[in-house]
Amino acid sequence: MKLPKIAAAAAAAMALVALAGCGSGGDPLANETSKAPASPAPAGTVVVGSADFPESTLIGEIYAGALQAKGVKVEKKFGIGAREIYLKALEDGSIDLIPEYTGNLLQAFDPKTTASTSEDVYAELKKAVPSDLTVLAQASAEDKDAVGVTKETATKYKLKTLSDLKPHAKDLVLGGPPEWKTRERSGVPALEKVYGLTFKGDFKSLKGTLLPQALANGQIDAANIFTTDPVVQQNGFVLLEDDKNLFPAQNVVPLINKSKATPEVSEALDAVSAKLDTKALSSLLTEVVVDKKDAATVAKDWLNQNGLV
């Protein structure tokens, strides 16, 4: 497999769409100093990798457990780090399988893509992956950009979609990570271009836990929050439907070396994707990040509950 421009493409993807959410999600491109495993994957074994953030490790544990339940020999190499690092690990065969996100992965392979919907992103991704790799069925679960409000704000203004914000944005203060202020494709400029949203006053740049805290206590009225972030369930935030598909789809998808994508392996992973939705992933992530439960245990329990072991 040849990936001659992966580093440049991954850097471009990082500039376009990051998954560095205000909570647990994180960006697989963020930890560029991490090193990939060096030893090749053993024959007859599927080596499952993950990026270096909790959600990726959790999904990796789910994939590993589903495969083991089918009698597949599995080795786990989690916490690899940046996308450009783990793509090289796939290339050299030191890992075979890793959880990915359709939109970011497509942009890594094709930085000029304009695909946005789940269907379009997935269709382009299947064509864009290198010849020795493949993506299996995507899950409905997504970890993507969203605009969140409190239940009180949603009720007061009858908000369900981003379009519903248009008559009210002038009275509401918007907050988010600093880069969101100028991000052309999925930030404040995009909200104005696609939805015609102009918010009250200046955009409030907030990092980490300060963002959901500001939303909860009324310092801001709307915020950029990722769909699986535990703060959504913790605070009862309402994520507004992106009814014009502004934010590129980020469906969870297995990226695997074709040589290891046997019918047995594919069937097991496709079964996971069929069951994993955004609400479930967010709940599982809350158990890991907030309740501090072991990711392997959380994954095993979910697999059991869904008849996948």
**Burial of 205 per CB tally in 10 Å (0-12, 13-18, 19+):** middle
The pLDDT value given to residue 43: 75
- Residues 84, 164 share a domain: no
- In a domain, residue 232? The reply is yes
- Residues 159, 93 share a domain: no
The pLDDT value given to residue 186: 86
- In a domain, residue 82? The reply is yes
Which residues constitute the domain of residue 198?
145-240
- In a domain, residue 87? The reply is yes
Residue 28, token pair as written in the block: 């697989």
Q: Which DSSP string corresponds to the chain?
A: ---TTHHHHHHHHHHH-----SSS---TTS-TT-----SPPPTTEEEEE--SSHHHHHHHHHHHHHHHHTT-EEEEE-----HHHHHHHHHHTS--EEEEEHHHHHHHH-TT----SHHHHHHHHHHHS-TTEEE-PPPS-B--EEEEE-HHHHHHHT-SBSGGGTTTGGG--EEE-GGGGT-TTTSHHHHHHHH----SSS-EE--TTHHHHHHHTTS-SEEEEETT-HHHHHHT-EEEB-TT--SPP-BEEEEEEGGG--HHHHHHHHHHHHH--HHHHHHHHHHHHTS---HHHHHHHHHHHTT--
CA distance 292 to 78: 18
- Residues 76, 47 share a domain: yes
- Residues 278, 153 share a domain: no
- Residues 222, 252 share a domain: no
CATH code assigned at 289: 3.40.190.10
- In a domain, residue 1? The reply is no
- Residues 106, 121 share a domain: yes
Rounded to the nearest 10 degrees, what angle do helices 83-92 and 102-109 cross at? 70
- Residues 264, 224 share a domain: no
CA distance 273 to 263: 15
CATH code assigned at 200: 3.40.190.120
Give how far Cα 51 sits from Cα of 46, 99, 115, 196, 296, Å: 17, 8, 24, 36, 15
Rounded to two decimals, the pTM is 0.84
- In a domain, residue 133? The reply is yes
Among 209, 240, 271, where does a domain finish? 240
Closest CA to 83 of 27, 143, 127, 23: 27
- In a domain, residue 218? The reply is yes
pLDDT per residue as tens, the chain (309 positions): 444 434 344 433 333 333 333 334 444 333 334 444 456 767 789 999 999 999 999 999 999 999 999 999 999 999 998 899 999 999 999 999 999 999 999 999 999 999 999 999 999 999 999 999 999 999 999 999 999 999 999 999 999 999 999 999 999 999 999 999 998 888 999 999 999 999 999 999 999 899 999 999 999 999 999 999 999 999 999 999 999 999 999 999 999 999 999 999 999 999 999 999 999 999 999 999 999 999 999 999 999 999 999
- Residues 73, 160 share a domain: no
Q: Residues, the chain, total?
A: 309
The pLDDT value given to residue 105: 96
For the chain, the domain total comes to 2
The pLDDT value given to residue 7: 39
- In a domain, residue 28? The reply is yes
- Residues 261, 204 share a domain: no
CA distance 200 to 213: 19
The pLDDT value given to residue 39: 66
Among 240, 269, 294, where does a domain finish? 240
- In a domain, residue 151? The reply is yes
Complete edge-to-edge strand list for the sheet that includes strand 238-240 = 204-205, 174-176, 222-226, 145-149, 238-240
- Residues 262, 119 share a domain: yes
Q: What sign has the CA pseudo-torsion 190, 193, 199, 201?
A: positive
> Are the C-beta atoms of residues 21 and 237 closer than 8 Å to each other?
no
Among 187, 216, 240, where does a domain finish? 240
- Residues 259, 226 share a domain: no
- Residues 138, 168 share a domain: no
The pLDDT value given to residue 303: 98
